[in-house]
Structure 1
Amino acid sequence: MRARIARRIPRWLFVRLRRLWLSLVPIAQCAAAAGLAWWVAADLLQHSRPFFAPIAAVVSLGLSLAKRWRRSVELIGGVLIGIFVGDLLISTIGSGAWQICVVVAVAMSIAVFLDGGLMIPIQAASSAVLIATLIPPGPGSLDRAVDALIGGGLGILVVAVAPVNPARRARRDAAAILHTLKNLSADLAVGLRTNDEDAIYRVLASARGTQASIEALRNDVAAGREVGRLSPLYWSSRDRLKRIAATADPIDNAVRNFRVITRRCLGVTQRGVTIEPAIVEIIDSMSSGFEMLRAMMMAEPGESPDQADAAREIRSIVRKARTSIADNVEDISETAVLVELRSLLVDMLMVAGLKRSSAIAQLHLNR
């Protein structure tokens, strides 16, 4: 039902709606943290114009789920540097164009000296500029520093109390990539059977377009691990997060190997050579292997298919990918395709939970 509705929505609108949907929880977290930070600083502590508190809360969280703890520390450090440098220098040298130059240079220099993070110098300079232009230095310096601490601290608190499910987004990312590989494997097999260069090229173009999905997977894995450390609600999910994180590199390698296979197949087809049917059969069988891995990724703990089910499915493909197939091929590039397919099967076995040494051993048993 959901898939049918998605197909009826224009692509440009679907992409934007999906982006908004994925950002709803981070947006809600930012909004809650900003309002809470203002309430604590203004109503509870009676600070005058405590805008550093909600700003710190929003910037420390942001829409990216990864490295929020690091962002909060960098932001708080940068704001504190900017406040103290701005107060000290502006109260001494006054305000004006050249004074802003001096304040920004000093604040950023201190920030860079203390830490190599990208956010600290920017926040230090921004805070120093605010002191130099809008907020006169004075006895409120300590309040401004406290406001920054309140905002950053409450941002982390909101993540811990109302976090994004740390496993859900990462496994959905992984499942989406595996689903793409399933479809591309089937399409590549069809293109090879019909010697359709255009179809194979389209598969290659689609495979090259998966890099953004790989980066999203890695970011969400990092975010999941961070939430698993910060939030007591998900401490019990750490082992599952660890298993999901272990699939990121094999999935990335699988995508890269698939691109190489498709590129070699395109070259062979362009030379007018027909790929050995046994090799095409392996590529076609990989489609069901990727589908099993996708289903494994989305299955809840204790449900089927699990890692053992997926490994059995892929072992059945490994048995087809014997090196003896190369005895029947005439073009050396076909042999290279077979070698790459066996390497891709190692990646698939690793996604199913096998260690690399065990996955390679499976191929050695099926020469």
Structure 2
Amino acid sequence: MHLDLRGRLRRLAFMAPSIVQCAVASALAWTVAKDVFGHARPFFAPIAVVVCIGVAVGQRLRRLVELVAGVSLGVGVGDLLIARIGSGSWQIALVVALAMGTAVFLDSGTLIVLQAGSSAVLVATLLPPSGTGGLDRMIDALIGGVLGIAAMALLPASPAAIVHRHAAAVLETLAAALGGAAEAVEKGDPEPAMAALRRARDAQSTMDAFGEALETGKEITTVSPLRRRRRQRFLRYETALTPLDHALRNIRVLCRRAVVAMQQQEVPPSRLPRALRDLAAAALLFRDELAAGRRPDGTAAAVLRAAALLAEAPAGRSGLSTDAVIAQVRSIVVDLLEATGADGETAAAALPPPAGPPSGRPPGPPIGGTDGGAGGGAAG
């Protein structure tokens, strides 16, 4: 319960800037629409702010366009029909069907369809059309959307901080999973690897949030003159995004095979736990170098030192599942090198040649993934 409370508080702290943006911009949108434009009940203005900014991340500019288009379409269809056919059950059904059908025909966006339908319902029930009411509501939506974008651009919510918090969560999960696998291999106990596997599986939503945060960060730097100088910083996160996704998938395969290896009492190479721990330390170093805005040269060097230990982990001596673990470690080495900016060929070439099986014993088939980064993509 204590850990759950801490997690909730961290989530609240993370969302606080967006909540402040919504609160301030909603009040401002209502004031502008009511006092400047003279609209009596401009409720679409603060609604547009909340939808545009939200407490989530990603596609905010598109949401603004879809919102205004959906409100305009729903109000337009509602005003046009209800003024002629009146209000009632079948009229509501007809107006909603026509508004949503037209929205689907014009655009595939979910928000425009839902907003068209809900706006048509409001016009058909609570707000019967009168005079320029439809046009006023369209203007209210536009006011709220514009002020929402302005709040996103000017109020203090650092896009780099948002992106880094998500990236740091991914790297910390990766490091923890590598550490759990190292403990399992070192002690011959499958339980740490099972716990690491559960943690890595739960981290996919964190990885998805990282990608969305990166998209939002780029949007903010596009619309905010105060943030444009930070665009270059996002390039390192963009470079790391896909390789880190591959690394998370590969660590799931690694942990699963480590569980089987320990259950079958295979004896892994003595250097394997150290290689796993060195990779975990490299992931945390990468987190720190990204936060400081430095080139991740230290991370690349740490990954290469961990990779050098694999030269002393020959295949075919420890068992099928241990060989799979070693193959996935090689894949994660490539993933982390690519995350620091190396191209695929350079990263693969940095690996030591796979150690062969004992003399007189033929090599087994490839296990796990390839050295190309996403070989373990079918992770559990």
- Please indicate, yes or no, whether the TM-score normalized by the shorter chain is above 0.5: yes
Query: What amino acid is aligned across from residue 344 of structure 2 in structure 1?
Result: R
Residue of structure 1 in register with 2:325 after alignment: 337
Structure 1 length normalisation: TM-score? 0.91
Q: Which of 223, 226, 229 is the matching residue for 2:219?
A: 226
Residue of structure 1 in register with 2:39 after alignment: 47
Q: Which of 318, 325, 330 is the matching residue for 2:307?
A: 318
Task: Determine helix, strand or coil for the equivalent of 2:271.
Answer: helix
The yes-or-no answer on 1:134 pairing with 2:122 is no
Q: Which of 230, 239, 246 is the matching residue for 2:232?
A: 239
TM-fit CA distance, 1:264: 0.9
TM-fit CA distance, 1:46: 0.9
Determine the C-alpha separation between the residues in 2 that align with 1:329 and 1:341: 17
The yes-or-no answer on 1:74 pairing with 2:66 is yes
Structure 2: 5+ residue runs without aligned partners?
Answer: 356-380
The yes-or-no answer on 1:256 pairing with 2:249 is yes
Determine the C-alpha separation between the residues in 2 that align with 1:225 and 1:320: 39
TM-fit CA distance, 1:58: 1.6
Residue of structure 2 in register with 1:85 after alignment: 77
* 1:318–1:366 CA contact under 8 A, matched in 2: no
Determine the C-alpha separation between the residues in 1 that align with 2:285 and 2:296: 9
Q: Which of 332, 338, 346 is the matching residue for 1:350?
A: 338
The yes-or-no answer on 1:200 pairing with 2:164 is no
Determine the C-alpha separation between the residues in 1 that align with 2:316 and 2:96: 70
Sequence identity (%): 39
Aligned pair in 2 of structure 1 residues 327, 58: CA closer, same or farther (>3 Å)? closer
Task: Determine helix, strand or coil for the equivalent of 1:64.
Answer: coil
Determine the C-alpha separation between the residues in 2 that align with 1:179 and 1:121: 39
* 2:316–2:323 CA contact under 8 A, matched in 1: no
TM-fit CA distance, 1:182: 2.2
Instruction: Pick the structure with more helix per residue.
Output: 1
Task: Determine helix, strand or coil for the equivalent of 2:310.
Answer: coil
* 1:319–1:366 CA contact under 8 A, matched in 2: no
Q: Which of 280, 283, 299 is the matching residue for 2:276?
A: 283
Determine the C-alpha separation between the residues in 2 that align with 1:56 and 1:35: 12
Higher mean alpha-carbon deviation, 197-206 vs 147-156, is at: 197-206
Q: Any idea what the Cα deviations from partners look like across 1:175-231, whole Å, max 9, x if unmatched?
A: 222223223322322221211122222222222221121122111111111111111
Determine the C-alpha separation between the residues in 1 that align with 2:77 and 2:232: 45
Residue of structure 2 in register with 1:5 after alignment: none
Count of aligned pairs between the two proteins: 354
Aligned pair in 2 of structure 1 residues 56, 288: CA closer, same or farther (>3 Å)? closer
Task: Determine helix, strand or coil for the equivalent of 2:324.
Answer: helix
Aligned pair in 2 of structure 1 residues 12, 332: CA closer, same or farther (>3 Å)? closer
Moved over 3 A (4+): 364-367
Query: What amino acid is aligned across from residue 19 of structure 2 in structure 1?
Result: I
Residue of structure 2 in register with 1:3 after alignment: none
Determine the C-alpha separation between the residues in 2 that align with 1:182 and 1:201: 15
Determine the C-alpha separation between the residues in 2 that align with 1:327 and 1:16: 45
Determine the C-alpha separation between the residues in 1 that align with 2:193 and 2:42: 60
* 1:38–1:53 CA contact under 8 A, matched in 2: yes
* CA RMSD, Structure 1 to Structure 2 (Å): 1.8
The yes-or-no answer on 1:35 pairing with 2:35 is no
The yes-or-no answer on 1:185 pairing with 2:178 is yes
Task: Determine helix, strand or coil for the equivalent of 2:265.
Answer: coil
* 2:44–2:141 CA contact under 8 A, matched in 1: yes
Aligned pair in 2 of structure 1 residues 286, 218: CA closer, same or farther (>3 Å)? same
Q: Any idea what the Cα deviations from partners look like across 1:284-305, whole Å, max 9, x if unmatched?
A: 3222222221221222x35xxx
TM-fit CA distance, 1:366: 8.3
Residue of structure 2 in register with 1:159 after alignment: 152
The yes-or-no answer on 1:292 pairing with 2:280 is no
* 1:185–1:287 CA contact under 8 A, matched in 2: yes
Aligned pair in 2 of structure 1 residues 65, 15: CA closer, same or farther (>3 Å)? same
Higher mean alpha-carbon deviation, 216-225 vs 96-105, is at: 216-225
Determine the C-alpha separation between the residues in 2 that align with 1:200 and 1:137: 63
Aligned pair in 2 of structure 1 residues 279, 57: CA closer, same or farther (>3 Å)? same
Structure 2 length normalisation: TM-score? 0.88
Query: What amino acid is aligned across from residue 189 of structure 1 in structure 2?
Result: A
TM-fit CA distance, 1:330: 4.1
Q: Which of 50, 56, 69 is the matching residue for 1:64?
A: 56
The yes-or-no answer on 1:307 pairing with 2:325 is no
Residue of structure 2 in register with 1:214 after alignment: 207
Aligned pair in 2 of structure 1 residues 145, 288: CA closer, same or farther (>3 Å)? closer
TM-fit CA distance, 1:318: 1.7
TM-fit CA distance, 1:38: 1.1
Aligned pair in 2 of structure 1 residues 327, 219: CA closer, same or farther (>3 Å)? closer
Task: Determine helix, strand or coil for the equivalent of 1:42.
Answer: helix
Query: What amino acid is aligned across from residue 188 of structure 1 in structure 2?
Result: A
* 2:85–2:91 CA contact under 8 A, matched in 1: yes
Determine the C-alpha separation between the residues in 2 that align with 1:342 and 1:122: 47
Query: What amino acid is aligned across from residue 16 of structure 1 in structure 2?
Result: R
TM-fit CA distance, 1:104: 0.2
Residue of structure 1 in register with 2:363 after alignment: none
